[in-house]
């Protein structure tokens, strides 16, 4: 292990009863990196962070922070870290200043060091006007800032932030991201979120986890290029056809679109208008717009809109975490909440993501895999 590896996780696994929250998660974060830790709710982001901060112990595997194993010396690990848990749980009965003083005392800062640290975090986190207020009276955005502030008090080289922007309004979000960028200039930051635009704003590298496994890890550009598909959104009138021909049913439309050469799958998008809106996924680097248009003309269907989506990180995320998305919708946030159903299906999905991992390099193969995995996803949906 080189000296500049700040966080190292190898083969971390964590079980909660029969639920596998983490399954052999391995990654490294180097000095000075700001890394986005992405994944749907319940994918194991918080669990990983809790292991890194020695709140939980892994079922197997090792985690090291600045070369110190979380089992060997949890106190030393925590001294080196600044951690902001999800939803910034603070003592609401305290005044901000007292709270920060309490954290400083626990961390062993003397009065002079605390004064100095306080000055700097007031500036970095914009806490000046909140300092003498009760925490219970603060908005969520301000609480988040206080949480960030307490993580920075001892000027740690490593910061672990669990969903620092969840539940914030867009302005607050932008602000917190700005603070994180500011903080990340000379520190190592591991930042979890499911909001992808933030990652694009703040991080150069992302690790995507899904169902307790790392499904992608690398610079954003690489991840973006990784999935081999292009999306089209086709909107067709559901009442009128061209020149007296009848309008299609959704199933009919999807069948026809799926039949186009190079199309991978389609799904219906919700809409308020009296139209069918279908999302069609095509193979990488393909352009199906002409074929779609010709299909519409040939069938006499009235196409109102055709759009090709540039490949966004959002889409990549959705692609990589497909199984999760379908299973976890409507489930509670906690990992424990994942039911037994997940377990039954997880074997199937595990194979899938294994393949994804193996094929990180060879993009040609991954197309074929994508197709295969999409089929399984389709079946599940049906």
Applying CB under 8 A, the residues found at the interface with other proteins are 16, 50, 53-57, 75-76, 78-79, 81, 83, 85-87, 89-94, 102-103, 105-108, 147, 150
In this structure, the chain runs to a length of 382
CB of 331 to other proteins, least distance (A): 19
In whole angstroms, what is the distance from residue 375 CA to residue 323 CA? 12
Find out whether 283 and 262 touch, Cβ atoms under 8 Å. yes
Closer residue to other proteins (CB): 103 or 214? 103
CB of 38 to other proteins, least distance (A): 21
Strand (E) positions, 52-167? 60-65, 68-69, 81-84, 158-162
Find out whether 107 and 153 touch, Cβ atoms under 8 Å. yes
In whole angstroms, what is the distance from residue 179 CA to residue 309 CA? 31
Give the count of beta carbons closer than 10 Å to the beta carbon of residue 174.
Answer: 14
CB of 139 to other proteins, least distance (A): 17
CB of 76 to other proteins, least distance (A): 8
CB of 91 to other proteins, least distance (A): 6
Those residues with Cβ within 8 angstroms of residue 255's Cβ, 6 or more apart along the chain or in another chain: none
Closer residue to other proteins (CB): 99 or 301? 99
Sheet holding 81-84, edge to edge: 81-84, 158-162, 188-193, 34-38, 205-210, 213-219
Closer residue to other proteins (CB): 108 or 244? 108
Closer residue to other proteins (CB): 340 or 364? 340
Q: Is the dihedral of CA 249, 250, 252, 253 positive or negative?
A: positive
CB of 29 to other proteins, least distance (A): 17
CB of 4 to other proteins, least distance (A): 23
Closer residue to other proteins (CB): 103 or 177? 103
For residue 231, list its beta bridge partners: 281, 309
In whole angstroms, what is the distance from residue 117 CA to residue 127 CA? 13
Those residues with Cβ within 8 angstroms of residue 266's Cβ, 6 or more apart along the chain or in another chain: 254, 257, 258, 278, 279, 280, 281
From residue 36, give the alpha-carbon distance in Å to each of 175, 261, 273, 292.
Answer: 17, 36, 37, 37
Find out whether 52 and 43 touch, Cβ atoms under 8 Å. no
In whole angstroms, what is the distance from residue 174 CA to residue 207 CA? 21
Q: At 131, list the tokens.
A: 């300092």
CB of 6 to other proteins, least distance (A): 17
Closer residue to other proteins (CB): 79 or 289? 79
Closer residue to other proteins (CB): 164 or 282? 164
CB of 138 to other proteins, least distance (A): 15
Closer residue to other proteins (CB): 85 or 164? 85
Closer residue to other proteins (CB): 18 or 363? 18
């Amino acid at each position: 292990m080189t000296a500049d590896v700040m966080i190292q996780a190898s083969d971390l696994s964590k079980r909660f009863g029969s639920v596998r929250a983490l399954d052999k998660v391995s990654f490294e974060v180097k000095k000075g990196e700001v890394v986005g830790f992405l994944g749907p709710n319940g994918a194991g982001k918080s669990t990983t962070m809790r292991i890194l901060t020695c709140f939980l112990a892994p079922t197997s595997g090792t985690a090291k922070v600045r070369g110190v194993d979380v089992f060997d010396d949890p106190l030393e690990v925590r001294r080196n870290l600044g951690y902001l848990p999800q939803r910034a749980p603070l003592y609401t009965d305290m005044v901000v200043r007292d709270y920060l003083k309490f954290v400083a005392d626990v961390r062993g800062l003397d009065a002079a060091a605390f004064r100095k640290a306080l000055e700097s975090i007031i500036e970095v986190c914009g806490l000046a006007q909140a300092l003498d207020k009760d925490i219970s009276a603060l908005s969520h955005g301000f609480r988040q800032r206080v949480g960030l502030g307490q993580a920075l008090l001892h000027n740690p080289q490593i910061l672990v932030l669990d969903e620092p922007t969840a539940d914030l309004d867009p302005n607050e979000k932008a602000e917190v991201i700005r603070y994180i960028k500011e903080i990340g200039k000379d520190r190592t930051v591991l930042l979890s979120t499911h909001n992808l635009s933030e990652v694009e704003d703040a991080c150069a590298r992302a690790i995507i986890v899904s169902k307790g496994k790392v499904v992608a890890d690398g610079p954003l550009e690489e991840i973006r290029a990784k999935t081999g598909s292009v999306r089209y959104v086709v909107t067709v009138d559901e009442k009128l056809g061209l020149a007296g021909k009848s309008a299609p049913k959704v199933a009919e439309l999807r069948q026809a679109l799926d039949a186009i050469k190079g199309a991978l799958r389609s799904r219906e998008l919700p809409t308020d208008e009296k139209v069918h809106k279908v999302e069609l996924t095509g193979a990488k680097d393909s352009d199906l717009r002409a074929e779609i248009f010709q299909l519409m003309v040939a069938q006499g269907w009235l196409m109102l809109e055709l759009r090709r989506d540039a490949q966004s990180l959002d889409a990549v995320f959705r692609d990589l975490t497909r199984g999760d998305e379908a299973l976890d919708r409507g489930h509670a946030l906690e990992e424990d909440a994942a039911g037994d159903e997940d377990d039954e299906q997880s074997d199937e999905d595990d194979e899938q993501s294994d393949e994804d991992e193996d094929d990180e390099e060879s993009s040609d193969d991954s197309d074929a895999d994508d197709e295969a995995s999409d089929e399984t996803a389709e079946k599940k949906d049906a």
